[in-house]
């Protein structure tokens, strides 16, 4: 039929144009990079197969960590207000309550061993450079001791799930540097301090689910340097689950109407489909008189 042929030609022209300006152009402008690696298999400083001893870990943590870090779930409260902590360290040190839940075990162990290399920030904190990362390397600890610390941190982590987990993970993993105004969440490190510490104010993440989108965030959070070489954002070492929780929280904040959109969409399309069918039947009736 002639009209179908015309439709096919138009569909082909539109399809070719669409392919060129959307998928193809995006492929050229944003080349694919290595897929996210949630095993953090580039780091091998600590033998993570060793079983950790929680009690020994507790002793080590109390001797080495709580001078700077709070662990509120274990009763170690924050020592000073955020502003003072930021002034002392450059950035507010993280509370370690959920560290064992949200960070990958291998990452956490290797982070304790050497934070800068785990974060992929050697360009920012070169060995012997003028600026040093506020947390020292614990490379003098044995692998067993490090695994004890990790085991202890895992043992104190509270079990949370659902939307509470989304927010808790976001707050712990991102909320010290990033604000998210649409969630009324402000970075715990004061604005001027974080700007000085990072070199620029870390962006507000309210709309990042829209501007960066899930696919990019999935790779970027896992290893920022792969997608934005030279950025001051560290690799934070979230487990795949924790990262999904963060992205879910960004979606709840930045695209809160997604579910409504998708369910309404089906109904509206169904309606227009019925509209089109009835329009066709009516048209056939009317045109039968003139053909």
Answer left, alpha or beta for residue 262, where phi above 0 means left and psi between -120 and 50 means alpha. alpha
Integer Cα distance of 190 and 87 in angstroms = 9
Phi, psi of 14, rounded to the nearest 5 degrees: -65, -40
Measured from the CB atom, is 102 or 248 closer to another protein?
A: 248
- The sign of the torsion formed by the CA atoms of 104, 109, 115, 117 equals negative
Residue of 39, 192, 211, 241 that binds another protein (CB under 8 A): 211
Residue 32 carries which DSSP code? Answer: -
Integer Cα distance of 143 and 42 in angstroms = 17
> In angstroms, what is the C-alpha Rg of the chain?
26
Is residue 269 within the footprint of another protein (CB under 8 A)?
yes
196 Cβ contact partners less than 8 Å away, ≥ 6 residues apart? 90
Interface characters, 114-143, with another protein (x: CB under 8 A): ------------------------------
Pick out residues in 249-268 that bind another protein (CB under 8 A). 256-257, 260-262, 264-266, 268
How many Cβ atoms from other residues are within 10 Å of residue 217's Cβ? 20
Is residue 33 within the footprint of another protein (CB under 8 A)?
no
Is residue 272 within the footprint of another protein (CB under 8 A)?
yes
Count of residues that interact with another protein, criterion CB under 8 A? 51
CB of 233 to another protein, least distance (A): 16
| Binding footprint of another protein on the chain (CB under 8 A) | 2-3, 6-7, 10, 13-14, 16-18, 20-22, 24-25, 28-29, 181-182, 203, 206-207, 210-213, 256-257, 260-262, 264-266, 268-269, 272-273, 275-280, 282-283, 286-287, 289-291
């Amino acid at each position: 039929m002639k009209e179908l042929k015309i439709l096919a030609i138009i569909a082909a022209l539109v399809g070719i144009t669409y392919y060129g300006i959307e998928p193809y152009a995006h492929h050229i402008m944003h080349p694919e990079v290595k897929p996210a690696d949630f095993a953090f298999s580039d780091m091998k400083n600590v033998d993570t197969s060793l079983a950790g001893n929680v009690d020994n870990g507790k002793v080590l943590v109390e001797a080495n960590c709580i001078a700077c870090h709070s662990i509120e779930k274990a009763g170690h409260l924050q020592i000073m207000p955020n502003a003072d902590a930021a002034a002392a360290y450059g950035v507010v040190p993280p509370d370690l309550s959920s560290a064992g839940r949200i960070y990958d075990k291998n990452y956490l162990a290797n982070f304790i061993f050497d934070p800068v290399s785990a974060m992929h920030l050697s360009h920012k904190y070169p060995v012997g450079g003028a600026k040093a990362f506020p947390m020292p390397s614990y490379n003098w600890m044995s692998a067993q001791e490090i695994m004890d610390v990790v085991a202890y941190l895992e043992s104190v982590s509270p079990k949370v799930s659902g939307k509470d987990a989304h927010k808790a993970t976001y707050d712990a993993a991102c909320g010290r540097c990033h604000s998210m105004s649409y969630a009324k969440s402000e970075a715990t490190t004061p604005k001027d301090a974080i700007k000085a510490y990072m070199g620029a104010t870390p962006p507000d993440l309210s709309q990042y689910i829209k501007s960066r989108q899930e696919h990019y965030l999935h790779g970027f959070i896992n290893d920022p340097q792969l997608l934005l070489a030279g950025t001051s954002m560290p690799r934070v070492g979230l487990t795949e689950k924790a990262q999904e929780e963060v992205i879910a929280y960004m979606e709840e904040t930045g695209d809160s109407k997604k579910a409504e959109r998708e369910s309404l969409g089906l109904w509206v399309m169904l309606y227009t489909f019925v509209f089109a069918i009835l329009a066709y039947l009516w048209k056939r009736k009317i045109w039968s008189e003139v053909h």
